[in-house]
Structure 1
Amino acid sequence: MDLKNFSKDAVVGVVGVGSFGTVIANMLAEKNKVLVYARKEEVVEEINQFHRAQNREFDPTILATHDPEELCNSCHTIFFMVPSSGFQEVARKFAPFLQPYHLVIHGTKGLCLDLPEGKDLDSLKSINRRRILTMSEVLQKETVAVRVGCLAGPNISKELALSQPAATVIASKFNEVILEGQRLLRSERFQVYGNSDIIGVELSGVLKNIIAIAAGALAGLGLGENAKGLLISRGMVEMIHLSKALGGSVKSVFGLAGVGDLVTTCNSVNSRNFTVGYRLAKGEKLSEILADMEEVAEGINTVKIIKGFLESADLRAPITENLYRVLFEELEIEEALQFLMKYPFNVDVDFV
């Protein structure tokens, strides 16, 4: 691909062209030249020729490549928008070409495991914290990238694609990453906040997916707003305890990437995690749901990982534990709900 004329000005890179990656690329293209990376050559050709791919429209100024070296050489700032299941593999593919001068911001709300040789998640009874990697930790482990950040918040792709008002958080230990993310993305309809607690922000975005699955199940059972209010409030308490145990700040859970995203995904039929819970409550099997979902519901893998972490940390997280039993041990949702209603929560707020 000829980038001679394209690279006269600064170019922003986007890795991944799923629903969220496409939306972010289009938002960036309003003020910047954008180069996106897609793994499949046919997807790259479709974007470059027709400005569309996988039934998604791309800004006509966006160009695509399937060459990691080309993207890294062309771009100073790169947004990684890759599902957690493939994040480590993609990071390794880009590792030879990423340099310490790159600014790397990811938008993935999931966790990855640093596993012993020959082991997989299902073979481990317990998982300690050093085995659990957020996506920023994956980038720092697999590449020489130093200035790493994350993007998190109530950012449902379908609403962003319709230019509906929204906000997000750019989190990083490096202020220049926050400022650059704000400069590139902020607009009249998209507010961008900053936060230095990158681990807390990442964990908030990850843990709320668990509660979103449970909220979808409540909706599928038709149990009303009182039950949802109970779930969200107790879910936030569970998120706070888990985030603290995993190294995050309580403040981030109370922010846009925590409670803001939690409330949004627990009320949205456009949330993949909410949809999984809803369909489970309607009697579908998890295998059936996953078979026809176009994109990953990150909360499913997160439930597995956090359940393993609970075993090693001697912690209780009743919503997560019972959701694990529903997803992987065929516990009926009604039984899980009865257990939670009888669980002896004696104190409303126990984290202040």
Structure 2
Amino acid sequence: MTLKNSSKEKSVGVVGMGSFGTAIANILAEKSKVIAYVRRAEVMDEINQHHSVDGISIHKDIIGTQDPEMLCKACDTIFFMIPSSAFQEVIRLFSPYLYPYHLVIHGTKGLCLNLPKGKTLSDIGKISRENILTMSEVILKETVVVRVGCLAGPNLAKELYQGQPAATVVASKYNEVILEGQRLLRTDKFQVYGNSDIVGVELSGVLKNIIAIAGGALAGLGLGENAKGLLISRGMVELIYLGNALGGSLKSFIGLAGIGDLVATCNSTLSRNFTVGYRLAQGESLEQITNTMEEVAEGINTVKLMKTFVEGKGMRAPITENLYKVLFEDLKIEEALQYLMKYPFSVDVDFL
């Protein structure tokens, strides 16, 4: 069977026009016509009538739709840019219209639970790797798509929208996916690297969100650069141990999608995860924070999943474990920090 290839005349699909989806759609529209799927009719009308999303101007070559079938027929390459909490539901919505010739790249930095029907995380207590799906694994499970890729890196949406210099990684087992992602996305101000370790790249984007919350907490406490350097370096070690346990490779974690994204999000007020940590340190409750945030901070769910995972594996992940207590058990940020300062790390780097 000959696979259908993308052509320059074909439109490119973007599913989800949150801040990151909108930024990527704008970059894609520099070279291609873009069809964007949105849930709400008023957002579709705003895109088509005013060339904007929530009052923010977007490229004129982006059109909005609420029709998954139309998008899938018009586009061979589709970028899914939606929160992990809605990812499986949206993939199932698109599944009847996706075929093996489609090329799918996602930009979601989250994980999905894979539990027996009717069971919840609290029901089973412990989880293993088979209970955790990356977003590429969700796509492969729920659709007949074969050529799947992932987009990850230090890609703060506001800076991308403003056209500031940045880079990303397109990861896939298929070189064709990487090359097509590079062709569609690369511009004078947006560099696109390739990586064949899709699971490692996905996990890098997911796990750094835990450390980004902790980075925001340090900033909220008014602590200095020495403390931040300590957190990032120890956070990198923890990220690598968790990532290896989940099946990723070291080379991905020390690349742009790993340490590059970690440094960016641990230092930026533009990061939703950083903002969660900062506001916690200012005395707000998790409920207050989540109720007033326009978009999801993926790190909150990741902390919960990884805490349960390490317990099942018999591992230790001190930053993740203490952040869980801060988020869900009312441990004070200051007490968590004191515990981490006293934790008996005896070796600096022991994974090389």
> In the aligned structure 2, how far is the partner of 1:200 from the partner of 1:73?
31
> In the aligned structure 2, how far is the partner of 1:117 from the partner of 1:124?
12
> In the aligned structure 1, how far is the partner of 2:47 from the partner of 2:120?
36
Contact 2:307 2:321 in 1 (8 A): yes
Normalising to structure 1: TM-score of the pair? Answer: 0.97
Partner of 2:45: 45
The CA deviation at 1:124 is: 3.5
> In the aligned structure 2, how far is the partner of 1:195 from the partner of 1:125?
34
The CA deviation at 1:295 is: 0.2
Partner of 2:342: 342
> In the aligned structure 2, how far is the partner of 1:274 from the partner of 1:324?
15
Q: Indicate whether 1:136 and 2:143 are aligned.
A: no
> What residue identity is the alignment partner of 2:232?
I
Give ranges in structure 1 of 5+ residues lacking alignment.
Answer: 1-6
Contact 1:163 1:189 in 2 (8 A): yes
Partner of 1:68: 68
Q: Indicate whether 1:236 and 2:241 are aligned.
A: no
> What residue identity is the alignment partner of 1:105?
I
> What residue identity is the alignment partner of 1:212?
A
The CA deviation at 1:121 is: 2.8
Q: Indicate whether 1:210 and 2:210 are aligned.
A: yes
The CA deviation at 1:55 is: 2.8
Q: How many residues are treated as equivalent by the alignment?
A: 346
The CA deviation at 1:26 is: 0.6
Deviation per residue, 1:177-230 (Å, 9 max, x gap): 000000000011000000000000000000000000000000000110000000
Normalising to structure 2: TM-score of the pair? Answer: 0.97
> What residue identity is the alignment partner of 2:46?
E
> What residue identity is the alignment partner of 2:67?
D
Partner of 1:118: 118
Partner of 1:273: 273
Q: Judging changes above 3 Å, is the alpha-carbon distance between structure 1 residues 169 and 208 closer, same or farther for their aligned structure 2 residues?
A: same
Partner of 1:4: none
> What residue identity is the alignment partner of 1:197?
D
Contact 1:36 1:62 in 2 (8 A): yes
Contact 1:213 1:275 in 2 (8 A): yes
> What residue identity is the alignment partner of 2:40?
K
Contact 1:124 1:308 in 2 (8 A): no
Partner of 2:324: 324
> In the aligned structure 2, how far is the partner of 1:126 from the partner of 1:324?
15
Secondary structure at the residue paired with 1:173? Answer: coil
Deviation per residue, 1:286-341 (Å, 9 max, x gap): 00000010000000000000011111111100000000000000001111001000
Mapping of 1:1-352 within 5 angstroms?
Answer: 9-352=9-352
Partner of 2:4: none
Secondary structure at the residue paired with 1:181? Answer: helix
Contact 1:307 1:320 in 2 (8 A): yes
Deviation per residue, 1:258-284 (Å, 9 max, x gap): 000000000001000000000000000
RMSD: 1.1
Contact 1:212 1:265 in 2 (8 A): yes
> In the aligned structure 2, how far is the partner of 1:299 from the partner of 1:243?
15
The CA deviation at 1:57 is: 2.0
Secondary structure at the residue paired with 2:96? Answer: coil
Contact 2:8 2:32 in 1 (8 A): no
> In the aligned structure 1, how far is the partner of 2:206 from the partner of 2:316?
18
Identity between Structure 1 and Structure 2 (%): 72
> What residue identity is the alignment partner of 2:203?
L
The CA deviation at 1:8 is: 9.6
Deviation per residue, 1:13-59 (Å, 9 max, x gap): 00000000001001100010110000112211221111112233221
